[in-house]
Structure 1
Amino acid sequence: MEFNFENKVIIITGGSSGIGAETAKMFAQYKAKLCLVGRNESRLQNVAQHCELISGNVPLCILVDLIQAGSCEKVITKTIEKFKRIDILVNCAGKLKLGTLHESDIDVFDELMAIHLRVPYYLTQLASPHLIKSKGNIVNIGSSYLERYKPGFLPYNVSKNALEKFTRHAAMEMVTEGVRVNIINPGMTRTNLIHNLNIDEGDVNYAYDNLIAELGLKKILEPKEVAKLILLAACDMMPNMTGSSLKIDGAVIV
């Protein structure tokens, strides 16, 4: 399957690592013009350099914490200043924090709702006029864990469920404008999310081994596999696919 993203302007949040980074590199193979958004400067620059080597196009790198005031506006403004248009928005920025109703501070809930819902909502709102002009599309990154009920995942799952509902409603609002909105729900993927739980390096593989037991295929997803599905959702091959939730998780045992 050959995609055509040549000269398409694509914003990827969470572009410095994991699924976002692999998605950026894959878009670069098809000559896309990239705006990469992340919080880690060295990783963001490494991804940008890799993309430039692949495509010859120099990505725009925006180093921001998206939940901070003014950050979403900066992403859209800087992208338009450099590229004059926006064709695709990939809301990939995310965070995993464990929390329960009785043991967690409300700040955990607020933080996850901010990064998983408020940021995609606001970026979509800000990017909409430009996406309407380009007849572009939006791909949100959710989680197949939103269908599961496990202790410790309450605020994470609530925020990802909210993102899926937002995707479906946004798709309905934008369908008459020619803008598609879809969501990809990956299962456990080999990214930095587990490291963000402050697990010792030596325990990371142990954590993955335990997670594999819950997967029908007994394999952790690799970011490249999820990136391929993101490109499929973002391409123009299926113009009637909007408001869709696409799951890739190796048959998670609910």
Structure 2
Amino acid sequence: MTSTIGKKYDFTGKVALITGSSSGIGAAIALQFAQYGAQVTITGRDAETLANVGKEIEEKCGHCPLQIIGDLIDQYLPEKLINETMTKFGRLDFLVNNAGIGTTAKSLENENFMTEFDKVFAINVRAPVQLIQLAVPHLEKTKGNIINISSIASLTAFSLLYGSSKAALDMITKTSAQELGPKGIRVNSINPGPVVTSIYRSMGITTKPMNMKEEMKKRTLLNMAAEPIEIANLASFLASNDARNITGSIVVSDDFLVNNAAIGTTAKSFENENLMAEFDKIFAVNVRAPVQLIQLAVPHLEKTKGNIINISSIASLEAFSLIYGPSKAALDMITKTSAQELGPKGIRVNSIVPGPVVTSIYRSFGIATKRMYIEEEVKKRSLLNMIPEPIEIANLASFLVSDDARNITGSIVLSDTGALLMQKN
């Protein structure tokens, strides 16, 4: 497995269907995928803007996308999108569920509230589910993947209708990844913060709000409003083989230090007589050392506008180990709080949360030799039936420190081959 970071992704011979691609994030993803060699199907409600995107793709990439005009409120459109894509290109590798709408009906007292509910959930939730269902037989053949474009509104009490629809989409990402992993299909979500798009039109607002970009910037730690290209960069990474071990992940996209050193322990019970000695050792290496390194690095990272990556573990997200798990949970919160404090200084802080990886961490548990059956046992615990090599984590780290990820901070990025979503017997 080799990394493609630093050079163009190669999507030659692949086919992508991107909904909501007549403007904004969807248009940026369609153009970038086409620039990387993919044939693309673009779709949207506005014939003129869709034609403009199609023309730009043809001019810059030398091939014409399939253009389908339609509104996903129409329950027959998803089937048309899949069927016409297959007729035109004969395969499907990437499904990007980008189409989404907002609403100005934010109160239960609004007389049109339930009408707006039906519309928002039809486009933001029902349409992606229907498209995924229709796409699965084709994606299974190509071992393709699905990217759902959600929102940070799914993670905070932002809007009764829009936020809850995006929360539903996040759970669809996780449950789809759980079901489709054994078929070799990866499913991930990108959850953008404020992005300069024309989503205001979907709320019935005909003109762009005044000072929209400046207002967006005020709501971010990095004092920037992301452009659609930033989301496209992340989508290209997730679609590529560099992210082949990432599924079921909710990726918040709202000069560097990498805190990777860590140790584990075989002391997992309160009955172990060495428990507190092991506690002190693990928290010293896994928690105290990263905090001290961050504190010492800040003056230098501020000068370079650098960033920090903490290497955590899925043990931070489930009851796995009495000492190791809590130490990694602490590191995840250090990522979030450090991002909050250091964002105004121009320093980004993110965490990579790997599942099982082929490493020599067994030595830090006091195990002298590698057990031969470990790798096969680990494979059984992943949806994708693989155990990643360290290069897979390096690919993600390289992406996060690059300018392609300049709008990502405070994010806990799961990279675990779906291990966390495996149904426990």
Query: TM-score band (shorter)?
Result: over 0.9
Q: For residues 202 and 172 of structure 2, what CA distance do their matches in structure 1 show?
A: 26
TM-score, with length taken from structure 1: 0.93
**Structure 1 unmatched runs, 5+:** none
Name the residue aligned to 2:73.
67
* 2:102 and 2:203 in contact (8 A); partners too: yes
* 1:32 and 1:55 in contact (8 A); partners too: no
1:199 Cα deviation after fit:
4.4
Q: Secondary structure at the match of 2:117?
A: helix
Give the alignment of 1:104-123 within 5 angstroms.
Answer: 104-123=112-131
* 2:216 and 2:224 in contact (8 A); partners too: no
Name the residue aligned to 2:94.
88
* 1:38 and 1:44 in contact (8 A); partners too: yes
1:210 Cα deviation after fit:
3.2
Q: Give the direction of change, closer, same or farther, for the CA distance of 1:30–1:210 in structure 2 (3 Å limit).
A: closer
Instruction: Give yes or no for the alignment of 1:212 onto 2:217.
Output: yes
Q: For residues 211 and 234 of structure 1, what CA distance do their matches in structure 2 show?
A: 28
Q: Give the direction of change, closer, same or farther, for the CA distance of 1:137–1:149 in structure 2 (3 Å limit).
A: same
TM-score, with length taken from structure 2: 0.56
Give the alignment of 1:1-254 within 5 angstroms.
Answer: 1=6, 2-98=8-104, 99-103=106-110, 104-150=112-158, 153-199=159-205, 201=207, 204-249=209-254
Q: Secondary structure at the match of 1:139?
A: strand
* 1:31 and 1:57 in contact (8 A); partners too: no
62-71 or 190-199: bigger deviation: 190-199
* 2:16 and 2:93 in contact (8 A); partners too: yes
93-102 or 162-171: bigger deviation: 93-102
Q: Secondary structure at the match of 1:119?
A: helix
1:217 Cα deviation after fit:
1.6
Aligned length: 249
* 2:43 and 2:67 in contact (8 A); partners too: yes
* 1:195 and 1:204 in contact (8 A); partners too: no
Q: For residues 89 and 185 of structure 1, what CA distance do their matches in structure 2 show?
A: 16
**Which structure would you say has the larger RCO, counting Cα contacts within 8 Å and 6 or more residues apart?**
1
Amino acid at match of 2:120: L
Larger radius of gyration: 2
* 2:170 and 2:189 in contact (8 A); partners too: yes
79-88 or 97-106: bigger deviation: 97-106
Q: For residues 80 and 168 of structure 2, what CA distance do their matches in structure 1 show?
A: 24
Q: Give the direction of change, closer, same or farther, for the CA distance of 1:81–1:199 in structure 2 (3 Å limit).
A: closer
Indicate the percent of aligned positions where both proteins have the same amino acid. 39
39-48 or 101-110: bigger deviation: 101-110
1:144 Cα deviation after fit:
1.0
Amino acid at match of 1:135: K
Q: For residues 197 and 208 of structure 1, what CA distance do their matches in structure 2 show?
A: 17
Q: Which consecutive aligned stretches of 4+ in structure 1 deviate over 6 angstroms post-superposition?
A: none
Name the residue aligned to 2:357.
none
1:101 Cα deviation after fit:
2.1
